[in-house]
């Protein structure tokens, strides 16, 4: 695995999880709390991060 792509995938997934949590109102926060837009953006980032990790893992095999 390439360490840079793996790190980017992890960061995307974690950032997306935080934004998803704030968008759904599960995490305390500022202007993002309870906003469907940030929930959607967070969900997309989680999926993108996981896909990047899966693609990188398959490349090394």
Question: In angstroms, rounded to a whole number, what is the distance separating the alpha carbons of residues 34 and 4?
Answer: 33
* Cβ-contact 41, 22 below 8 angstroms: no
Question: In angstroms, rounded to a whole number, what is the distance separating the alpha carbons of residues 4 and 31?
Answer: 31
Rounded to two decimals, what is the model's pTM? 0.87
Q: What's the average model confidence in pLDDT over 24-47? A: 91
Task: Tell me the CA distances in angstroms from 28 to 2, 6, 23, 24, 36, one per residue in order.
Answer: 34, 28, 10, 10, 15
- Decide if pLDDT at 1 tops 80: no
Q: What's the average model confidence in pLDDT over 27-55? A: 92
Lowest average pLDDT, out of 11-15, 21-25, 27-31, 51-55, goes to: 27-31
């Amino acid at each position: 695995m390439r360490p840079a792509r793996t790190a980017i995938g992890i960061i995307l997934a974690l950032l997306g999880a935080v934004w998803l949590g704030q968008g759904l109102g599960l995490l305390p926060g500022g202007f993002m709390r309870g906003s469907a837009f940030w929930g959607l953006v967070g969900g997309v980032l989680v999926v993108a991060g996981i896909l990047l990790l899966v693609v990188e893992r398959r490349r090394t095999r």
